[in-house]
Amino acid sequence: MPGADHYFSPSPGSRRRDRTVTLRLRDVTLDLRTDRGVFSAGRVDPGTLLLLKHAPLPPPPAGNGSEAAARRVLADVGCGYGPIAVTLALRAPDAAIWAVDVNERARELAAANLATAGVTVGGGETRAADSGRGVDRALPEDGERDRGGGQATVCAPEEVPAALRFDAVYCNPPVRIGNEALDELLRDWLSRLRPGGFAVLVMHKNLGADSLVRRLADAGTTPRRLAIGGGYRVLQVPAAGGAGS
């Protein structure tokens, strides 16, 4: 329907109704703020939970380079209110986390939830929702990198530097945008992986998980299934030229 308000709308028009959901994992328990107009506002999506239970982290880079060069760079694409980004930041406090979403309301909530978790937050034009804590709009200074759960940048897709490459990308894809747009989105982010990097995706079988596997294979990469549960599939997709591609 024209003008419909979707979680992938850049500026949701639905009236705000702030609420809290609880993220519960083996190693993370945290209340997260949500609102109307964002993905899975009433609960942490079960596909997201399955991904977080099984998704690996890339190993820290080897070598004796500078601190910035030695830090893992991880992306949560379509971050919503931030359950994946928050978990990555807490599990890998040495890493630079990029939480990316087209939805400005989702970005506000993700920034607030990351800050509540003790993560130093910055990025683009993002402003945190009123959480009683200040959130910087610039990238953290070097001296702030060891605070709390690390550092994160919350931004719109177009604000991600074109030259930036990632060790891993995590995504619960917005399947409602359609296969053509979804494939374009995934091609873009897979092309941003560093050599040896990988993406971790989750999708429900009834929403096209098996079709996505075939399309990825046709594009020259072979996903590895990490987990299944409740109809969801968690897939690990290697960077171009990596094992299985």
The amino acid present at 100, given as its one-letter code, is: V
State residue 91's pLDDT score. 96
Regarding beta strands 29-34 and 224-229, do their DSSP bridges make them parallel or antiparallel, or are they unpaired? unpaired
Give the integer Cα–Cα distance in Å for 4 and 1: 6
- Pick 94 or 205 by higher pLDDT: 94
Q: How far is CA 98 from the centre of its chain?
A: 7
State residue 8's pLDDT score. 60
pTM of structure: 0.82
State residue 124's pLDDT score. 44
Average pLDDT over residues 13-28: 88
State residue 142's pLDDT score. 38
The class level of CATH for 19-238 reads alpha beta
State residue 138's pLDDT score. 33
Is a pLDDT exceeding 90 seen at residue 83?
A: yes
The burial class, CB within 10 Å (0-12 / 13-18 / 19+), for 81 is buried
| Average pLDDT score, the chain | 82
State residue 70's pLDDT score. 64
State residue 182's pLDDT score. 86
State residue 64's pLDDT score. 55
Percentage above 70 pLDDT, the chain: 78
Q: How far is CA 86 from the centre of its chain?
A: 9
